Chain A
Amino acid sequence: MSNTTTDIGEFEENTGEPEHRTRSRIWQGIFWVALIGFLLIAPALLYPVFVMQLLCFALFAAAFNLLIGFTGLLSFGHAAFFGGAAYIAGHALKVWGFPPLLGIATGTLFAAALGWAVGSLAIRRQGIYFAMITLALAQIVYFLVLQLPFTGGEDGLQGIPRGHLLGFIDLNQPLAMYYTVAAIFLIGFLVIYRIIHSPFGQVLQAIRENEPRALSLGYNVDRFKLLAFVLSAALAGLAGSTKALVFQFASLTDAHWQMSGEVILMTLLGGMGTIFGPVVGSFIVVALQHALSGIGSWVQVVIGGTFIACVLLFRRGIVGELARLLKINSL
Chain B
Amino acid sequence: MDPMIRLILAQGMLGLNNGVFYAMLSLGLAVIFGLLNVVNFAHGALYMLGAFLALILYSYAGAWVGLDALHIGFWPALIIAPLLVACFGMLIERFMLRRLYKLDPIYSLLLTFGVTLVLQGLFINFFNASGTPYPGMPESLRGVVNLGFMMFPKYRLFVIIFSIVVCFVVWYMIERTRIGSRLRAGTENPELVKAFGINVPLMVMLTFGFGTGLAGLAGVLAAPIYSVSPLMGANLIIVIFAVVVIGGMGSIAGAVVTGFSLGLVEGITKVFYAPAANTVIFLLMVIILLVRPNGLFGRQG
Contacts and interface: CB of A to CB of B under 8 A. Distances in A.
Instruction: Check A-B contact in the complex, CB < 8 A.
Output: yes
Nearest to B38: A128
Given A124-B293, A296-B125, A304-B115, A315 B107 contact: yes
Nearest to A6: B104
B135 interface: no
Contact of A121 (B96, B110, B289): B289
A308 B104 contact: no
A331 B174 CA distance: 49
B108 to A, nearest CB: 8
Interface residues of A, number: 45
Contacts of A305: 114, 118
Interface string A117-158: 000010011111101110111011001000100000000000
Given A124-B293, A127-B105, A143-B279, A136 B111 contact: no
A152 to B, nearest CB: 17
Contacts of A308: 96, 111, 114-115, 118
Of listed B106, B278, B293, residue having the most chain A CB within 10 A: B106
B238 A7 contact: no
Contacts of A133: 241, 245, 285, 289
Interface in B104-135: 104-107, 109-111, 113-122, 124-125, 129
Contacts of B103: 4, 7, 315
B194 to A, nearest CB: 16
A180 B49 CA distance: 46
Of listed B119, B244, B245, residue having the most chain A CB within 10 A: B245
Nearest to A257: B238
A5 interface: yes
Contacts of B200: none
Contact of B278 (A143, A258, A296, A304): A143
Contact of A140 (B129, B275, B279): B279
A136 B117 contact: no
Given A124-B293, A307-B113, A136 B285 contact: yes
A8 interface: yes
A304 to B, nearest CB: 3
A74 B105 CA distance: 11
A24 B125 CA distance: 46
B282 A139 contact: yes
A261 B105 CA distance: 16
A225 to B, nearest CB: 14
Given A128-B109, A264-B110, A297 B293 contact: no
A77 to B, nearest CB: 10
Given A139-B282, A264-B110, A312-B96, A132 B241 contact: yes
A301 interface: yes
Contacts of A127: 105-106
Contact of A307 (B110, B282, B290): B110
B238 A139 contact: yes
Contact of A137 (B39, B106, B109, B282): B282
A304 B117 contact: yes
A74 B109 contact: yes
9 tightest A-B contacts by CB?
A304-B117, A307-B114, A300-B121, A304-B118, A301-B121, A132-B241, A308-B114, A124-B293, A136-B242
Interface of A: 3-5, 7-8, 74, 121, 124-129, 131-133, 135-137, 139-140, 143, 147, 257-258, 261, 264, 268, 296-308, 310-312, 315
Interface of B: 39, 96, 99-100, 102-107, 109-111, 113-122, 124-125, 129, 234, 238-239, 241-242, 244-245, 275, 278-279, 282-283, 285-286, 289-290, 293-294, 301
